[in-house]
């Protein structure tokens, strides 16, 4: 069973997440065949604790969030709350996150009014 804390220590040993670290994370998750909210929260903690993050990790993180949010093709109020916690807890939105919101809106088969409000607020 994957020990996320040990994985975190290994990945953040030098304070940065580079492409080799992304490969290592992907291999560990692939071995476990696991991608759920707990894993995404783990990836978010890596993202917040690292001093430097490569673009590949940023994309991997957003892909993982997308997988969880669009699993059923719909964005409901629970997913909006979770998205807000994952991406916008600091009250700021960067260019990647803005594009991500745009992408989610276009990929979803249905969105709740709360997602539309979040989208309108940041876009």
Give the model's pLDDT for residue 23: 94
Range of the domain at 48: 1-64
Give the model's pLDDT for residue 88: 76
Domain boundary among the residues 46, 64, 82 is at 64
Shared domain check, 7 and 36? yes
pLDDT, tens digit only, all 123 positions of the chain: 678 889 899 999 999 999 999 999 988 888 877 788 889 999 999 998 999 999 999 999 999 999 999 999 999 999 999 988 877 766 778 888 889 999 999 999 999 999 999 899 888
Shared domain check, 75 and 41? no
- Residues 118/83, Cβ–Cβ less than 8 Å: yes
Give the model's pLDDT for residue 115: 96
Whole-number Å distance between alpha carbons of 95 and 51: 19
Shared domain check, 54 and 5? yes
Cross-strand bridge partners of residue 111: 75
Shared domain check, 47 and 105? no
Give the model's pLDDT for residue 1: 60
**Which H or E run contains 61?**
helix 55-69
Domain boundary among the residues 32, 64, 96 is at 64
């Amino acid at each position: 069973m994957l020990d996320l804390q040990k994985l975190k220590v290994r990945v953040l040993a030098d304070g940065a997440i580079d492409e080799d670290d992304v490969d290592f994370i992907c291999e560990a998750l692939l071995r476990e065949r696991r991608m759920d909210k707990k894993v995404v929260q783990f990836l978010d903690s890596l993202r917040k604790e690292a001093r430097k993050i490569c673009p590949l990790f940023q994309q991997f993180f957003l892909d993982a969030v997308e997988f969880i949010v669009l699993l059923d093709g719909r964005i409901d109020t629970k997913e909006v709350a979770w998205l807000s916690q994952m991406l916008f807890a600091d009250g700021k939105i960067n260019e990647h996150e803005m594009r991500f919101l745009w992408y989610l809106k276009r990929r979803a088969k249905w969105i709740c009014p709360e997602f539309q409000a979040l989208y309108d607020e940041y876009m």
